Structure 1
């Protein structure tokens, strides 16, 4: 059993928390820390809000904090304590800190334990019959649940249309901020999510 501490602001991680709990079963235990205070743009001292981070016992931390000062200090604390933390879309560079461009851009890594076996960059298997997609089995998917939702919508699609279709469907279900733009990847987080899902399904279809 993996104990995961989740830090969020004003329910910023609510959908991901719900989806992970639904699909992880008893393998993962999520303990959620909410920070709902109205905060200034700059926080010189985050200690009041991150007291639990210094004392927590956890195998993994998920950072869904919106305030950059809170997020930075949370990742600093986790790094110093040797606790791995997943902080999507952020640019922090520290040991034990993983900053994928989106939640569904997280690669497999042994340091992240059971969480990374089920959630992160999508991995699927597909079955085809008479030129259409008959089955999609999600091995690993987005923690917001978009992979599972989109996979159901693609069933019955012609093989040649399925990759594009799942990419579009994922963008519909995705909870990332579409206004964001990553100059490294040349995509918004939503477009990135669609791209990695399209690539994952097309790979599975080629194998089938």
Structure 2
């Protein structure tokens, strides 16, 4: 069983920790962000750094770019894979991707297998939503979540839609994301891309459509 470390310097990551720890051994590490936007040297407490390095897979929700880049630089050779859940700008993203074992998803509920055993073990449970729906006639009697978004929203949607009629169920699944609520837009700073909440809604809509077709 792989070990996960979730690292943050702000308000994001707690819901992912609450969800992911139910499936994997998970450490939640809070780092103090540097003062100011640009700093010459970033300090990470040694004891916190050791916790992070001991993981097989690291998920960062660090908002400060210098802290994010320095952390990846320090740990990329010590861990199997790193998922950067909060980043801004294509240049910064490409800089991170150059390390080779780093993923910078547009949305955390769009993770799918990439061939790395550690990463694939994680996304077998968390990433792009996959559900199984049991029906009696035109009514949903049960929804099993086979792969959940890391924030736990897929479990929320499944719970909300049990007992609903199958008519327009995928649309309802997409709309229920608005009630969770999804935090994806706030983690992709200064972007003009398609609304990340809309992407999350579409992933869940597609998952429920595919489940009904099966």
1:36 aligned residue: 32
Deviation of 1:77 (Å): 2.9
Aligned-residue offset at 1:174: 3.9
For 1:53-90, what per-residue CA distance to the aligned partner results, in whole angstroms no more than 9, with x for missing partners? 47822211111111112112222333344531011253
**Distance (Å, rounded) in 2 between the aligned partners of 1:138 and 1:67:** 33
Tell me the number of residue pairs that the alignment of Structure 1 and Structure 2 aligns: 200
Mean Cα deviation higher: 143-152 or 169-178: 169-178
Alpha-carbon offset, residue 106 of structure 1:
1.0
Calculate the TM-score normalised by the size of structure 2.
0.82
Deviates more, 1:174-183 or 1:4-13: 174-183
Alignment of 1:45 onto 2:31: no
1:182–1:37: structure 2 CA closer, same or farther, 3 Å change rule? Answer: closer
| Structure 1: tracts of 5 or more residues without a match | none
Please, which moves more after superposition, 142-151 or 111-120? Answer: 111-120
Are residues 20 and 72 of structure 1, via their aligned partners in 2, closer, same or farther at CA, if it must alter by over 3 Å?
Answer: same
What secondary structure sits across from 1:159 in the alignment?
coil
Which of structure 1's runs of 4+ aligned residues deviate more than 6 A? none
Q: Report deviation, 1:177.
A: 4.1
Hey, what does 1:154 align to over in structure 2? Answer: 161
Give per-residue Cα distances to partners, 1:168-191, cap 9 Å, x unaligned: 1123214424355755xx522211
Matches within 5 A, 1:125-144: 125-144=132-151
Aligned to 2:112: 107
How many Å separate the matches in 2 of 1:175 and 1:44? Answer: 34
Deviates more, 1:137-146 or 1:101-110: 101-110
Unmatched 5+ stretches in structure 2 = 88-92
Q: TM-score, normalised by structure 1?
A: 0.84
CA distance in 1, matches of 2:36, 2:158: 41
Q: Does the 8 A contact of 2:58 with 2:79 survive in 1?
A: no
In angstroms, what is the RMSD of aligned CA positions? 2.3
Three-state SS of the structure 2 residue aligned to 1:164 is: helix
2:68 and 2:33 map into 1 onto residues whose CA distance is: 15
**2: CA distance, partners of 1:59 / 1:112:** 9
Residues 125, 17 of structure 1: CA spacing in aligned structure 2 closer, same or farther, 3 A cutoff?
A: same
